[in-house]
Amino acid sequence: LLQLSAPLNMLGMMYREVKQAFTNLERLFGLLDERQDVQDRAGAVPLRVSRPRVAFENVRFGYDPRREILQDVSFEIPPGGTVAVVGHSGSGKSTLARLLYRFYDVDAGRIAIADDEGALRDVRDYTQASVRGAIAIVPQDTVLFNDTIYYNILYGRPAAGREEVERAARAAHIHDLIVSLPDGYESEVGERGLKLSGGEKQRVAIARALLKDPAILIFDEATSALDSKSEKAIQAELDRIAVGRTTLVIAHRLSTVMDADEILVMDAGRIVERGAHAQLLALNGHYAQMWRLQQQERQAEAAEAVPASL
Ligand code: ATP
């Protein structure tokens, strides 16, 4: 019985963790009673894909039917490509990710994924387990469990072996830190154990995601301010892990999105501008304004960083 309950427990925790990452807990608790989990449709097929194309087609969605959050959102992520979403807080960016992962179903329109044969199917026509199996999320704030760091990475794919866990940790540049700890991979982390920094936690999340080796990657950039060195490091990390994967980036810093195939600028649940970085700058609209603002903030930060005596 023990043998069975451990993996089941872990699945429950994984589910809760991901959900937590995307949902304000208070709101989640408010919702749990009312909301039915999404169900597999009769005849749903497993999604088998290595380089999926993802399409949002005229998607409408509200957490509450009386308040529409997404209004007619359409975009496409090409196989192995990257789409980045930017916009003010509350504009609906994370909602796109939650819908793709099928925490919720759309109210109108559809989200479709094309398999390797090119057949574009509604996500509701794939089994939920296979869709979630194809997607890994690197959340804004990674929750670490009160367990060993090994176990924390293993969540990415519980069936993985020791070597694979270490390979993922190496690729996420967290292996060296781990082996420098007195207990190595057996070090306890979380509230009762070792405290990792925000950047280190995100590396654990990246290692988890790499272990899962997903065809689709959702990267929810941390909102917390990072110094420009950490920012560059995370950017390099993201670029590396996104190679060959169909990637959706929810970005808070525009520097992260410059290389995306397409950048969507969201405002109040609508895409108000779209294009590549240079195109959006040339448009001289919302994006260009956000860009100028971030540049000014950076300059102000740089000025503040200079000691007054100099
Ligand atoms: P941020 O940049 O702050 O993360 P966002 O652009 O990702 O914001 P979303 O989290 O997608 O914004 O939220 C869009 C809107 O939906 C907001 O008005 C928010 O209050 C609302 N919302 C988000 N989650 C829920 C929920 N679980 N139940 C009800 N409303 C929600």
The answer, yes or no, to whether residue 1 has pLDDT greater than 70, is no
pLDDT higher at 231 or 258: 258
Give the Å distance between the CA of 242 and the centre of ligand 1: 25
Instruction: Report the amino acid identity of residue 291.
Output: W
Tens of pLDDT, residue by residue over 92-127, are 999 999 999 999 999 999 999 998 888 899 999 999
**DSSP label at residue 79:** T
Tens of pLDDT, residue by residue over 198-210, are 878 888 998 999 9
Give the Å distances, CA to CA, from 270 to 61, 93, 120, 175, 267: 11, 10, 24, 41, 5
Q: Residue 18's pLDDT is what?
A: 55
94 Cβ inside 6 Å of ligand 1: yes
The answer, yes or no, to whether residue 21 has pLDDT greater than 60, is no
Give the Å distances, CA to CA, from 264 to 1, 30, 118, 227, 280: 49, 30, 24, 25, 10
Token output for 196: 């990792």
Atom 2 of ligand 1: nearest residue by CA position:
89
Burial label, 306 (beta-carbon count in 10 A; 0-12, 13-18, 19+): exposed
For residue 291, the tally of other CB atoms under 10 A from its CB is 17
The answer, yes or no, to whether residue 274 has pLDDT greater than 90, is yes
Mean pLDDT in residue range 115-142:
90
Q: Residue 25's pLDDT is what?
A: 37
The answer, yes or no, to whether residue 31 has pLDDT greater than 80, is no
Atom 28 of ligand 1: nearest residue by CA position:
63
**Complex ipTM value:** 0.97
91 Cβ inside 6 Å of ligand 1: yes
Q: Residue 225's pLDDT is what?
A: 57
Atom 25 of ligand 1: nearest residue by CA position:
63
Q: Residue 112's pLDDT is what?
A: 97
Tens of pLDDT, residue by residue over 50-97, are 899 999 999 999 999 899 999 999 999 999 999 999 998 899 999 999
**Phi, psi at 225, each rounded to 5°:** -65, 135
Cα angle 270-271-276, degrees, rounded to a multiple of 5: 170
String of DSSP letters for 108-134? EEEEEEE-TT--EEEGGGB-HHHHHHH
Q: Residue 15's pLDDT is what?
A: 59
Q: How far apart (Å, rounded) are the C-alpha atoms in residues 306 and 259?
A: 30
Give the Å distance between the CA of 93 and the centre of ligand 1: 8
93 Cβ inside 6 Å of ligand 1: yes
27 Cβ inside 6 Å of ligand 1: yes
What is the overall mean pLDDT for the chain? 84
Q: Residue 13's pLDDT is what?
A: 59
Atom 20 of ligand 1: nearest residue by CA position:
90
Mutate to test the pocket of ligand 1, among 24, 66, 94 (most ligand atoms within 8 A of CB): 94
pTM for this prediction:
0.82
Give the Å distances, CA to CA, from 287 to 84, 183, 301: 12, 47, 21
Mean pLDDT in residue range 30-50:
71
The answer, yes or no, to whether residue 177 has pLDDT greater than 80, is yes
User: Please, which residues have CB within 8 angstroms of residue 89's CB and are 6 or more apart in sequence?
Assistant: none
Atom 10 of ligand 1: nearest residue by CA position:
94
The 70-77 sheet, strands edge to edge: 70-77, 53-61, 108-114, 120-122
CB 61 within 8 A of CB 70: yes
Q: Residue 36's pLDDT is what?
A: 47
Q: Residue 193's pLDDT is what?
A: 79
Of 46, 92, 72, give the one whose Cα is nearest residue 215.
46
Q: Residue 38's pLDDT is what?
A: 76
Of 196, 199, 200, give the one whose Cα is nearest residue 188.
196
Average the pLDDT over each of 5-9, 44-48, 58-62 and give the range with the smallest value.
Answer: 5-9
CB 202 within 8 A of CB 209: no
Token output for 199: 């950047």
How many CA atoms are closer than 13 Å to the CA of 36, on its beta-carbon side?
Answer: 4
30 Cβ inside 6 Å of ligand 1: no
Polymer length of the chain: 310
Atom 3 of ligand 1: nearest residue by CA position:
89
Give the Å distance between the CA of 119 and the centre of ligand 1: 32
Average the pLDDT over each of 13-27, 38-52, 154-168, 277-291 and give the range with the smallest value.
Answer: 13-27
CB 56 within 8 A of CB 113: no
